């Protein structure tokens, strides 16, 4: 059977300032996460510490090894990791 990648969910209600924290980014060995600007204002650099201006996404979920280090270091318990159900054998 091929290994399957876990589903990674980020609770944006809890993870409001990822650019300021970055703990999951530093803890993740295969660098699964990326921070991006969630709001866009033309010609304006957004405050990295303001809630909601930036968001984190598991851009490279296919690289996740399910080590759960991101979950361990998240100070607001915003990350959940779920393994998909394996398909039944034919």
| pLDDT tens track for 54-83 | 999 999 999 999 999 999 999 999 999 988
**Is 35 among the domain residues?**
yes
**Is 40 among the domain residues?**
yes
**Is 38 among the domain residues?**
yes
| pLDDT tens track for 42-55 | 888 888 888 988 99
**Is 79 among the domain residues?**
no
**Is 73 among the domain residues?**
no
Question: What residues make up the domain containing 43?
Answer: 8-61
- What pLDDT sits at residue 3? 59
**CA distances for 8 relative to 23, 41, 77, angstroms:** 16, 28, 13
**pLDDT higher at 68 or 39:** 68
Contact 47, 38 (CB under 8 A): no
Is the pLDDT score of 89 beyond 70? no
- What pLDDT sits at residue 87? 45
């Amino acid at each position: 059977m091929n290994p399957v990648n876990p589903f990674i969910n980020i609770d944006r209600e809890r993870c409001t300032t990822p650019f300021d924290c970055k703990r999951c980014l530093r803890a993740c060995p295969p660098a699964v996460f990326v921070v991006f600007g969630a709001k866009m204002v033309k010609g304006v650099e957004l405050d990295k510490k303001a809630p909601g201006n930036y968001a984190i996404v598991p851009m490279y979920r296919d690289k996740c090894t399910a080590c759960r280090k991101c979950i361990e270091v998240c100070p607001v318990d915003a990350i959940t990791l779920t393994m998909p159900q394996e398909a039944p054998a034919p």
